Chain A
Amino acid sequence: MLAALRCIVYRDLLLALRRRSDVATALLFFIIVASLFPLGIGAEPNLLRSIAPGVIWVAALLSSMLSLGRLFAADYADGTLEQILLGAAPLGAVVAAKALAHWLVSGLPLVLIAPVLALQYDLALPLFWVLSLSLLIGTPVLSMIGAIGAALTLGLRGGGVLLSLLVLPLYVPVLIIGAGSVDMAAAGLAPDAQLLLLAAMLITAAAFAPWAVAAALRISIE
């Protein structure tokens, strides 16, 4: 089973590597959205410092959501997904592997680039760690939850907009806790509680989301 999972992750990463522009687009979107806020709101440093955690987190949410459509669409179009469903590897595990690959491609780059955006927003240095850590724990949750939406909207007309309507409300707790952890640290308090809550969400999502995704895929394919 583990071999199959490694194979899926490797394959998805390889596919993403062959189409580098897709990955770059989502990352660029993240940077552009985060850069638009100062232009719209004004570049007053105190204001920027206070909105930075929320803005960066919302940008991460949107960017992660943008790439969700690709999670199953290509496999669905060329019939690979049907073969995976028929295959011996348990579907829940395969789905978890695909979500992991999605996170490595779309979530991890956000975590790595976020400190640069934090610089733009003039965040204090110690907060960089909290921001990166919260994104590191939080973005996999987004990939997991997003996979449910992607599986449900597979092959539907207007899938993209519908996907955002389904997934964004479910992202809200992650956003609140994730941005809250940075706010907490900015106020000079320990962000441990929020980070642990995020970790709890990650564990819960990792345990249950794959089954929901598997059920949704079976419904969408038949």
Chain B
Amino acid sequence: MSTDSLKWLWYASPQTFYPLAGILARGCAVAAAVLAVIGLYIGFFVAPTDAQQGEAYRIIFIHVPAAWMSMFLYVVMAFWAAIGLAFNTRLSGMMATALAPTGALFTFVALWTGALWGKPTWGTWWVWDARLTSELILLFLYLGFMALQAAIDEPRRADRAGAVLAIVGVVNIPIIYYSVEWWNTLHQGASVSLKSAPSMAATMFAGMIVMAAAFWMYSIAVTLVRVRCIILERE
């Protein structure tokens, strides 16, 4: 037990984490590429055409995983921020800083692909629906986090100020999730849930899961590369 926890703490130091991050980043980048190819193949060639939405629905293979990641990454960011505040570790703050741009990117992708999907399906690029709006607010939260960190010159203060903001902002995540129930609007309810069987063809579901895994690997790889840059810059 004690040696186990020691091993984990061993990598809490930026110097020892740096080479590990390099190996992990390379592995995850390869996995992301392979999974993306498989996922896109399933999405474009294997999954059947949707009865109502036609071919336009295929953008969900990008849209849904991106939306998942955008919310999930914010929670991860807040998690590292909280760890950094509680234990005063340098690496945690760097992780939070490194996660923010990837999270913002996925939020933007989710919004953009949502607009592309909404035009043929709903007949409009944008509606002021609860989920779209909360996703937009999430993008603002990411940008605010990045702007705050950019405005502070001293890296330790930037880490900790950003951490407080991230933890405050994480209040927004449940609001996004429950907004569908709170305001009854245009956006369809979640099609995939843990409790019931997915209300879509198995191949569509598989494609989405594989793409989600690909995005996951991509996020890890990019974040670790960015952490390595931050370590080099600061240490």
Taking Cβ atoms with an 8 Å cutoff, the residues of A that contact B are: 148, 152-153, 156-159, 162, 165-166, 168-170, 172-173, 212, 215-216, 219-220, 222
Contacts and interface: CB of A to CB of B under 8 A. Distances in A.
B164 A166 contact: no
Nearest to A215: B164
Q: Is the interface of B mostly helix, strand, loop or mixed?
A: helix
B161 A219 contact: yes
Interface in B164-202: 164-165, 167-169, 171-172, 175
A148 to B, nearest CB: 6
B140 A153 contact: no
Given A157-B151, A170-B171, A170-B172, 10 more contacts: A152-B164, A156-B152, A166-B148, A166-B165, A169-B169, A170-B168, A212-B168, A215-B85, A215-B164, A220-B157
Given A168-B140, A169-B137, A212 B148 contact: no
Given A157-B151, A219-B161, A212 B167 contact: yes
Contacts of A172: 133, 137
A42 B133 CA distance: 27
A219 B143 CA distance: 21
Given A170-B168, A173-B175, A212-B168, A165 B160 contact: no
Q: Is the interface of A mostly helix, strand, loop or mixed?
A: helix
B48 interface: no
Contacts of B167: 212
29 contacts: A152-B161, A152-B165, A153-B148, A153-B151, A156-B151, A157-B151, A158-B151, A159-B151, A162-B147, A165-B140, A165-B144, A166-B147, A169-B140, A169-B141, A169-B144, A169-B172, A170-B171, A170-B172, A172-B137, A173-B175, A212-B167, A212-B168, A215-B85, A216-B164, A219-B160, A219-B161, A220-B157, A220-B161, A222-B157
A94 B24 CA distance: 47
B125 to A, nearest CB: 21
Nearest to A219: B160
Interface in B9-65: none
B175 A152 contact: no
7 nearest A-B residue pairs (beta carbon): A169-B140, A166-B144, A219-B160, A165-B144, A156-B151, A169-B137, A216-B164
A59 B187 CA distance: 29
Of B151, B172, B175, most buried by chain A (CB within 10 Å of CB) is: B151
B190 to A, nearest CB: 21
A18 B160 CA distance: 36
Contacts of A212: 164, 167-168
Interface in B122-168: 133, 137, 140-141, 143-144, 147-148, 151-152, 157, 160-161, 164-165, 167-168
Nearest to A164: B144
A162 B143 CA distance: 10
Contacts of A222: 157
A162 B164 contact: no
Interface in B85-126: 85
Nearest to B169: A170
A164 to B, nearest CB: 9
A159 B161 CA distance: 13
A220 B143 CA distance: 20
A179 to B, nearest CB: 13
Contact of A165 (B137, B147, B161): B147
Contact of A219 (B151, B157, B172, B175): B157
Contacts of A152: 148, 161, 164-165
